[in-house]
Amino acid sequence: MAKPPIGGNRTGRKLGQKVKKGKLKASSRRWLERHINDPYVQRAKLEGYRARAAFKLLEIDEKHQILKGAHRVIDLGAAPGSWSQIAAKVTDSTDDDIRVAAIDFLEMAQLPGVKILQLDFLDPDAPRQLIEAVGGTPNLVLSDMAAPTTGHQKTDHLRTMHLCEVAAHFAVEVLAEGGHFLAKTFQGGTEKDLLNMLKLNFRQVLHIKPASSRQESVEMFLLAKGFKGRKGGVITAAVDEDGFARDPREDIPAEEDQD
C-alpha cells in the first residue's frame, strides 16, 4: 500500500492551510485545520473512500492479511462506511449476492453490495438481524465501535471497552473456523479477562497501532487471528493452578499477547 504524500497530496491541495477565525471557537478551528490538512483525509477523498479510517484497515491487512480469502464480513459501528466499502470489494459482494452486513445507530448512505442496519448493536435482536443480513457464516468481524462521548474520560473509556467486549463475544459466537476479529480498543485499556477469552478461542492475539491512526489518539486495534472453531463449544474462561489462561481442549497455556 502506498504511503500518503508528505508535504502535499495528489489532490493538488497544499497542506498547512489555515481556517479564518470567523465565529468558530478556537478548539473547533484547530480541529478543522487538522482535518483539512490531514494527508489521509485528502487521500480518502481522492481514492473515493468515505473516511480516512479506510487506511487503518488497509494498513493492518497489508501486514496481517485478514482480508485475504474473506467471503462474508460483518462490520460493527460501520458509519460512514469506509470499512464496508473495502469489505464489499474483497468479497465481490453485490446487491444480488450480499456478503457484507453493516450496523450503526447513525444513518448511513447506501453502499453497493452492503446490507446496512440502522440499529444499536446492543439491541438484543441485532445479532440475529446481522446473521440474516450477511447471508451466511462470516469469516471476518470488524468493529470500529466507540461509545458517544460524555465528556468524562473514564466513563467514555469504560463504555467503549464494553462495546469491544460485546463485539468479541459476538465474534466467537458467529465466526467460521479460521476467521478473524478486529476491533477498536484503547492503549492500556483491554481487560485481562477479554484477552484471555480471545487467546482461548484464537490462535494469535495482538495489539496494533497503525501509522494512519493519529499520533495523539489513544486508540489501538485488537486483532484476534485464526478462530479455533466451536467443536468443543466456545470457551469463555479457563485458568490453570497459577492463574494463567488455559485451553482445556489442548491442555496448553494460551499464547502470550503480542504488542
Q: Which amino acid is at 55?
A: F
Confirm if 103 and 119 have CB atoms less than 8 A apart: yes
- Using alpha carbons, select from 174, 171, 172 the residue that is nearest to residue 136: 174
Sign of CA dihedral 88, 92, 93, 96: positive
DSSP string, 193-243: HHHHHHHHHEEEEEEE--TTS-TT--EEEEEEEEE--STT------B-TTS
End-to-end CA distance of the chain: 22
- Report the alpha-carbon distance of residue 174 to residue 208 in Å, rounded: 23
Estimate to the nearest angstrom the gap between the alpha carbon of 66 and the chain centroid. 12
Confirm if 41 and 35 have CB atoms less than 8 A apart: yes
Contacts of 182 (CB under 8 A, 6+ apart): 57, 60, 66, 140, 141, 142, 143, 221, 222, 223, 224
* Active-site hit among 56, 115, 184, 199: 184
Estimate to the nearest angstrom the gap between the alpha carbon of 51 and the chain centroid. 13
The answer to whether residue 225 is catalytic is: no
The residues annotated as belonging to the active site are 184
